[in-house]
Every structure is written in C-alpha cells, then in structure tokens.
Structure 1
Amino acid sequence: MKKGLQDGFKRPRLDLIQCPVCKGRAVVTGVFYELVCADCNGSGWVVDGSRLLLPLEELVTQLSFKLQAAEREIRALKGVSGMAGPERHYNEPNRRGAGGSNFTGD
C-alpha cells in the first residue's frame, strides 16, 4: 500500500460513542452521591468498537473534531432550509403597503 504525502501529518478521526456505563452522563450513581465514571474518564465518550479510554489530550482533540462536524452540519441545514413558510413572507418586503412599504397583514 502506497503511503500518501500528507497521511502522516493528519490526526486520525476516531468514531466516538456515548459511554455504555454512564450513558454519556460522565457520572455514575453511587450509594450516597455521584461518582466520576471510570470507564470513560468522566467524559461520557469512548472509542466505537473497542470501547477504549482516551487520554485527556486526545479526547479534547477528538471532541473538537466532533463539534466542528456538528457545526458544519448545522450550517448546511440552515443554509438549505433558510426561512420557509409564513416567516419568509413576513420578513421579505412585498411592496403592498402604503407608499410601497411592506404589508404583513397584522
């Protein structure tokens, strides 16, 4: 297998899932109080498939990748739908009011 020029310089993107023990809450219920989950190091996330515990430095990087992907998806969804339905007609000028101003019918 031929190694690409940039392959060694990129951080691998790991698939993270919620911790099955604490169910993503980062704490487990003890007898009298909540304890930090030892299976996910109190983060609520583990590596998919292997259920490995990530070191904190790597966990911060992987969570940042996950957050950036979620923000890109949110931006894409907002761009596709934009304003639809009644709010679109309410906010765009229709020049039907007095002197060509916006008339909303309120």
Structure 2
Amino acid sequence: MSRQVAVIPLVRCEVCQGQGVIKGIFHVMDCAGCNGAGLIDRATNQALSLEQMVQQLRVRLNRANRQVEQQREQLERAGLVPVTGPAADYQGNNKKGAGGAHFTGD
C-alpha cells in the first residue's frame, strides 16, 4: 500500500526561533506558535498538526537518508571512503609488533 505525502514547505518558527520551546523565568514550555516543533507552514505561517508534522519530517528524513547513501556509494566507487573508527586500527601495518610486524593489542 503506497501513499504519497505532499511535501509542505516549512520555515523556522519566529516565536521560538526554531527551538520548539519558550523559556520562562521559572520553567520551559512548548511553543504555542509551532506546537513545539520549531517549524511552521511557509504558505500559511500556521503550525501543522502533530500528525502532519510527523509525516513531513519522515519524508524529509527518508530523502536525507537516500542522499547520504547515494553520496556514500559515489565515494566508494571513487575509492575515497576513509576507514574510520575501530576498523582503522586493522588497516595497514603499524609496525608495532616484533620485527615491525602488525600488532593490534588484541
């Protein structure tokens, strides 16, 4: 079952400056201008319902994840993906073992 969700242009809420909350003297409360989302409809300058906001953010997250995956694939094809994190310790020879052999400390 496929259902298309129309993308609504969103802008930052000016009441809370996109934070979603308003800080009082003794408390912090959700912004009434954007229902705590930090974003409003560009055309109407009104807050979206929570259901609409979830749909809009899901569409944007899915789009961003697809773009990240496409960029990762392009970098891999070009051979430019650097190995980072724990896997970097196992790449190449660190010459820390006996006679300059690879030693990881495992």
1:79 Cα deviation (Å)?
A: 1.3
List 4+ stretches of structure 1 deviating above 6 A.
none
User: Could you say if the C-alpha distance between residues 78 and 31 of structure 1 is closer, same or farther in structure 2, counting changes exceeding 3 Å?
Assistant: same
Match in the other structure for 2:93: 105
Shift of 1:17: 2.3
What is the total number of aligned residue pairs between the two structures? 84
Residue from 4, 15, 40 that aligns with 1:10: 4
**1:70 maps to 2:64:** yes
1:1-106 correspondence runs (5 A)? 10-82=4-76, 84=80, 87=83, 104-106=92-94
What is the aligned-residue identity percentage?
Answer: 29
TM-score (norm 2): 0.65
Q: Where in structure 1 are there 5+ consecutive unaligned residues?
A: 1-8, 92-102
Distance (whole Å) between structure 2 residues aligned to residue 62 and residue 73 of structure 1: 17
Structure 2 CA distance for aligned equivalents of residues 84 and 58 of structure 1: 39
Q: Which runs of 5+ in 2 are unaligned?
A: 95-106
CA RMSD of aligned residues (A): 2.4
Cα 1:105/1:65, change in 2 over 3 Å? same
- Is this contact kept in 1: 2:75–2:81, CA < 8 A? no
